[in-house]
Amino acid sequence: IVRWTPFIQEFKRRKYPWIQLAGHQGNFQAGEPGAILKKYDKHEHQSFNKLMVDVLRSYVPEYRGEVVKDGECYLQLQDLLCEFEAACVMDVKMGCRTYLEDELTKARQKPTLRKDMYQKMVEVDPGAPTPEEHAQKAITKPRYMQWRDDMSSSTGMGFRIEGIRKSDGAQVKNFKTTKDRASVKTSLRQFVEEHPAVVTKYVRRLKAIKVTQESSPFFSSHEVIGSSLLFVHDRSGSASIWMIDFGKTVPLPSSVQVTHRKPWQEGNHEDGYLTGIDNLISIFQELLKD
Ligand code: ATP
Ligand code: MG
Ligand code: MG
């Protein structure tokens, strides 16, 4: 359990520690009131430009343009936390894999061996590396990412929990091996246990996101990898969900069409995003009945 905040945010004369559940510590800063700055990324910039004129617009943070600060370029984004008080937050990384087909191709052409990723793998499961990987004490990045997807619920369920922050400020991030449906369900139940009434709102919002994605020109023309759904609620009973993180959301080759549901095979670019939403909806609906 960690309690860490990258900066103090101010909105409508209220101050609150901002919450960051994933990503590098230095990637975010306070922006204008009600906004944050995220380190510039070309794919994310292009995605936000298109999303602002897509039907999905109301399900993503408002994009307020590029900002240069201390010589660094940032994207200014609506702070999704600014209307909440002592927010409970959950980051759910969507899709059945978290690396682009392109990353796989590049790594194959020019494999670089990573000792740090080998270390991380051995810490979780000393038996995971092959004899060859043990000998070189290093693995390639796609190998590591594939293993992480398989260890977690990504491959099997089309999503994994990246982090949860409860209203008392406690943050939990140890979901790396939360894999089967029952343990995922337990974690989701713990996230909403203080405010069970928000589950109905989450189910409604997930369904709205799903049907909008199914009709979105943006969604049908992109491979959506490493993107998250950010769940936010507080004790007033407000609750909502937004799509965030488009650094690995890339246009599909014009000859390729995806369902976001069919199993992935190299070359078909399927990401399993809608499979993940289907599973999330079904688990939250079960929580309503329990
Ligand atoms: P990674 O690719 O490793 O997931 P990243 O640097 O691309 O990280 P994001 O995933 O976009 O960063 O965001 C990291 C965290 O910051 C999220 O888990 C969430 O807690 C918070 N966050 C991101 N964007 C917003 C936003 N617009 N409003 C509120 N919180 C946000
Ligand atoms: Mg992320
Ligand atoms: Mg990212």
User: pLDDT, tens digit, for every residue of 137-153?
Assistant: 999 988 999 999 999 99
Binned at pLDDT 50, 70 and 90, residue 2 comes out as: low
| Number of the ligand 1 atom closest to the C-alpha atom of 80 | 28
- Cα(127)–Cα(125) distance, rounded to whole angstroms? 5
Q: 167 C-alpha vs ligand 3 centroid, how far in Å?
A: 24
Residue 77 near ligand 1, beta carbon < 6 Å = yes
Q: How far is the CA of 193 from the centre of ligand 2 (A)?
A: 24
User: Is pLDDT of 166 > 80?
Assistant: yes
Is the CB of residue 20 below 6 angstroms from any atom belonging to ligand 1? Answer: yes
Ligand 1 atom 5, closest CA:
23
d(CA 153, CA 225): 15
Q: Is the pLDDT of residue 184 over 90?
A: yes
Q: Is the CB of 138 under 6 A from ligand 1?
A: no
Res 143: pLDDT: 92
The pLDDT score that the predictor gives to residue 24 is: 87
Q: State the Cα–Cα distance between residues 289 and 99, nearest whole angstrom.
A: 35
What's the whole-number mean pLDDT along residues 167-185? 93
Strand partners, 285: none
Does ipTM surpass 0.90 in this model?
A: yes
Ligand 1: which residue has its CA nearest to atom 2? 23
The position carrying tokens 């306070």 is 30
Q: Would the pLDDT of 4 be above 70?
A: no
pLDDT at 13: 80
Minimum-distance ligand 1 atom for the alpha carbon of 163:
18
Q: How far is the CA of 13 from the centre of ligand 1 (A)?
A: 24
> What contacts 100, CB < 8 A, 6 or more positions away?
223, 225, 248, 250
Q: Which amino acid is at 40?
A: Y
Write out pLDDT tens, residues 63-115: 999 999 999 999 999 999 999 999 999 999 999 999 999 998 988 898 899 99
88 pocket-lining for ligand 1 (C-beta < 6 Å): no
- pLDDT of residue 36 exceeding 70: yes
Q: How many Å separate Cα 150 from the centre of its chain?
A: 16
| pLDDT band, very low/low/confident/very high, at 1 (cuts 50, 70, 90) | very low
d(CA 183, CA 202): 19
Which residue is it, tokens 């390729």?
Answer: 256
Quickly state the pLDDT bin for 27 (edges 50, 70, 90). Answer: very high
pLDDT at 230 over 70: yes
d(CA 275, CA 262): 8
Pocket test for ligand 1, best of 18, 38, 160 (most atoms within 8 A of CB): 38
- Cα distance between residue 212 and residue 42, in whole Å: 25
> Does the beta carbon of 44 lie inside 6 Å of ligand 1?
no
pTM to 2 decimals?
A: 0.96
Predicted confidence band of residue 3 (pLDDT cuts 50, 70, 90): low
Band (16; pLDDT cuts 50, 70, 90): confident
pLDDT(259) > 60: yes
Confidence check: pLDDT of 281 > 60: yes
Which amino acid makes up residue 256? Answer: V
The mean pLDDT of 36-40, rounded to a whole number, is: 97
